[in-house]
Chain A
Amino acid sequence: MLELEEVSKRFGDQVAVGPLSLKIAQAETTVLIGPSGCGKSTLIRLMIGLLAPDTGSVIFDGESLAVADLPTVRRRMGYVIQEGGLFPHLTARRNVTLMARHLGWDPGRIESRVAELATLTHFPLDALERYPVQLSGGQRQRVSLMRALMLDPEILLLDEPLGALDPMIRAELQGELREIFRALNKTVILVTHDMGEAGYIGDTIVLMREGRIVQQGGLRDLVETPAEDFVHRFVHAQRGAREILGGGG
């Protein structure tokens, strides 16, 4: 479905990503993790074509993004960023339905899809008429997720979707996200810098350092057979991973 081949991206003199290759597993949740500035956002932006790679290619459904019609391809992907990126001039509902309306969906279809998504994301229907400034941080992220899912995309890309939330809400939403991803059975790529979150939500974890992939595998692989010392240090720098592993298996 989504594959990166020898992709690299630099900003000025500085290499932000790669060269690296990565195959995203279908219908699974892949988590990109690594220290701040290691290139996670750059990588995810390459995947949705917001950035063009300097070398290599990003292949979606057998076609390189370099030659694809980006607007069309992006409608088959959903994208959520840290602050939600909700348009302040539109209500929650308008944010969610913007693209569907632009594509000329009929109102009944839009209405039922919104209701479906509100149920899925536990978003109160009456809050749909509010503007983003009138919503809490957690609500904004739910709306963001609804917007990303509106066209029923094949892939969902989330760049630190919970990064701006306080710990209580964050923990609550982590649980919900996991449920949602399981229910949807979609290909999901999620960026986080939190090892606990990665282990809790991800099927596969891709650990990055300075633009490169250091190790890729399940949480257990990273903990038990670290590819290098950095992996060991990264995993153990964050409390909780052991506990999750212990509690889960």
Chain B
Amino acid sequence: MRRALQCPARGALVGLLAVAACSTPIDGRPVVVVGSKAFTEAVVLGEVIAQLAEHAGADADHRRQLGGTRILWEALLAGEIDVYAEYTGTIVEEILAATDVAGDDQVGRELERHGVRMSGHLGFNNTYVIGMLEDVAEELEIRTVSDLAAHPALRFGFSNEFMDRGDGWPSLRTRYALPQENVRGLDHDLAYRSIESRSIDVIDLYSTDAEIEFYGLRPLEDNLGHFPAYQAVLLFRDDLVERAPAVVEAILGLEGAIDEGEMVAMNARAKLELVPESVVAAEFVEARFGLQTEVVLEGLLDRFARNLRGHLWLVSVSLLAAIIIAVPLGVVAARLPRLGLGILGVVGIVQTIPSLALFVFMIPLLGIGAPPAIAALFFYSLLPIVRNTHAGLMSIPAAYLDSAAALGLTPAARLRLVELPMASVSILAGIKTSAVINVGTATLAALIGAEGFGQPILTGIRLADESLIMEGAVPAALLALAAQGCFELAERWLVPRGLRIESGA
């Protein structure tokens, strides 16, 4: 709370929800928040940066495996994170796609206009490569990307990001005149498993992926020089230079410090040997800089407890807020039919916004972590409750409404004593629906750095580790069932007995 209080710019709502760190010194030690994307190399680099920052006298906080470039970039601009590792190709093609910049100097100047600085190259080029299983490639005699054109029946499975990028599939297809029709977008890590099980033939890879050898993949030569360079660099906020000069100096020590072989080795340690990223990073930091880092690893039970707490926090705060807002909205909608149409329309539209998009919209307002996740979950929880409250009230037969009015009850007393109790079954059913949807959707909140059962799922997908996926998916499913059970029990307390009796005595 102390940290949150030091951010006076935040509104009351945020203050209420905020657990987010503000980059303000505590006890003289600058707080440095490091971000990383949701793939292993990024997480390892994030750990390396965080450890170097700690050694340089900072309190480093690593917001790991956030959901994508857009989220990291928004978080960096919002000051939610101070630094993260990025690739030059991504900066040009995605972050600055709207501008027409090329070359590190132009890029650097353009970034500075956003208050962001770019380090020199870290030393490895993690560019896209197109790959296939070695034996299939051998049989079809495919060595270069151009060779693919002769085999239109090949099935392509590309990462979602690659499908959309300016330098991704659309332009690759044009450049190499590729005829293939069977092209799917899927998660990068699932792609490996699909190609292993031979349900797809061709995937996109990163040149530092540990799996190239593991799965026996052949990277095809980019013979037309299509892919731009993806040199790893650090992006950090301008203000870090003043706030934590020693940290900036330390992390700039990474310039030219990691070559491709080292990065592939670190990726393999983390991804194939399942060594925790913090340990992999500590090994690297010691070997390269002679600095020893004490790594505290979290046990399974601690992790479970933390995820459970995180998940329950997301669900309970967002659901409670939704109940407090949605029931009155439903009442208003039932009272004022015209306004009601508008209310039902708006909450219905909110429901159709893809969850990741909604999460990303929240970042400039609420940062990353639990607050934006809670806000997004809150919006998703509104519709079932508003709709059921409205429907429950509208379905009360006129005879009861007339009787209540004729007794001399005021409108407020009618609502409290007659209408809400009679609509209670419907309202509770709406809340139950919201709770179950909410528990499930909360797993996606991991993409913007919120704790919960989405974290092990995300890590599990990243490391192709099914037991980790289960560690998140099973408790999340059980939690949804438990929520349902709780509300069924609550019905016995909250729904008046007279409404539960079926037939006469």
Contact = CB atoms under 8 A, between A and B. Distances in A.
Contact of B408 (A45, A72, A90, A133): A72
Interface in A78-105: 79, 81, 83, 85-91, 98-99, 102
Most buried by B among A72, A89, A102, A147: A89
Contact of A89 (B399, B413, B422): B422
A77 B504 CA distance: 31
A132 interface: yes
Contacts of B505: 130, 134-135
Most buried by B among A85, A132, A136: A85
Contacts of B422: 87-89
A91 B407 CA distance: 16
Given A90-B498, A99-B407, A134 B418 contact: no
A128 to B, nearest CB: 13
Contact of A85 (B403, B408, B502): B403
A45 B402 contact: yes
Given A85-B402, A133-B503, A135-B504, A74 B407 contact: yes
Contacts of A91: 498
B502 to A, nearest CB: 8
B496 interface: yes
Interface string B403-430: 1111111100100011001101000000
A50 B421 CA distance: 22
A72 B407 CA distance: 9
Contacts, number: 81
B499 interface: yes
B498 A85 contact: no
A90 B496 contact: yes
Contacts of A16: none
Interface string B422-442: 101000000000000000000
Contacts of B503: 133
A134 B501 contact: yes
B392 to A, nearest CB: 12
A131 interface: yes
Nearest to B404: A87
A12 interface: no
A88 B504 CA distance: 12
Contacts of B113: none
A224 B358 CA distance: 79
B338 interface: no
Interface string B161-173: 0000000000000
Contacts of A81: 399, 402-403
Nearest to B499: A89
Contacts of B400: 85, 87-88
B497 interface: yes
A210 to B, nearest CB: 23
Nearest to A50: B402
A132 B407 CA distance: 17
A62 interface: no
Most buried by B among A45, A50, A87, A91: A87
A99 B408 contact: yes
Nearest to A76: B408
Contacts of A50: 402, 405-406
A74 B410 CA distance: 10
Nearest to A151: B408
A66 to B, nearest CB: 16
Given A102-B413, A135-B504, A88 B499 contact: yes
A48 interface: yes
Given A87-B400, A87-B422, A79 B406 contact: yes
Interface in A34-78: 45, 48, 50, 70-75, 77
Contacts of A75: 407-408
A245 B430 CA distance: 59
Contacts of A87: 400, 403-404, 418, 421-422, 498
Contacts of A45: 402
A89 B421 contact: yes
B407 A147 contact: yes
A73 B399 CA distance: 20
Most buried by B among A70, A71, A74, A151: A71
A199 to B, nearest CB: 27
B501 A133 contact: yes
Nearest to B502: A133
A134 B497 CA distance: 12
B407 A98 contact: yes
Given A89-B422, A130-B505, A79 B403 contact: yes
B498 A133 contact: yes
A142 to B, nearest CB: 15
Contacts of A70: 405, 408
10 contacts: A71-B409, A75-B407, A77-B406, A79-B402, A87-B404, A98-B409, A102-B409, A133-B504, A134-B504, A134-B505
Interface of B: 399-400, 402-410, 413, 417-418, 421-422, 424, 496-499, 501-505
Interface of A: 45, 48, 50, 70-75, 77, 79, 81, 83, 85-91, 98-99, 102, 130-136, 147, 151
Rank and list the top 9 A-B pairs by shortest CB-CB distance, nearest first: A85-B403, A89-B496, A75-B408, A79-B406, A131-B498, A134-B505, A74-B408, A85-B399, A89-B498
Given A50-B405, A85-B402, A136-B504, 10 more contacts: A50-B406, A70-B405, A74-B405, A87-B418, A87-B421, A87-B422, A88-B400, A89-B418, A89-B496, A133-B502
